[in-house]
Amino acid sequence: MKAQKPRRRRKVVRQKNCRLCENKIFNIDFKDVELLRRFQTEGGKILPRRITGNCFKHQKLLAVAVKRARILALVL
Ligand SMILES: [Zn+2]
């Protein structure tokens, strides 16, 4: 039998609730670059929901907004 390495669980700081719901933002404007950047990595990727803690609805809206903004080259 191989000796098992102790596996370390990655701790992810969880934000339980959706920040967009909290701030009552229900239409995400793709021109709102500041907002969109908050939900992206430095490389310009959209952060997954398990990290941002967004609800499904907002994550979807956000993804659409980011994609639109990309077309106009507002964000990476
Ligand atoms: Zn939400």
Domain that holds residue 37: 19-71
Distance 11 CA to ligand 1 centre (A): 23
Distance 46 CA to ligand 1 centre (A): 16
Within a domain: 30: yes
Distance, CA of 38 to CA of 34 (rounded, Å) = 7
Within a domain: 29: yes
Within a domain: 67: yes
Distance 9 CA to ligand 1 centre (A): 28
Within a domain: 3: no
* Full DSSP string of the chain: -PPPPPPPPPP-PPP-S-HHHHTT--S--TT-HHHHHHTB-TTSPBPPHHHH---HHHHHHHHHHHHHHHHTTS--
Residue pLDDT tens, the chain, 76 long: 677 777 777 665 665 789 999 999 999 999 999 999 999 999 989 999 999 999 999 999 999 999 999 999 998 8
Distance 65 CA to ligand 1 centre (A): 14
Within a domain: 76: no
Domain count, the chain: 1
Distance, CA of 68 to CA of 66 (rounded, Å) = 5
CATH of the domain at 37: 4.10.640.10
Within a domain: 4: no
Distance 45 CA to ligand 1 centre (A): 19
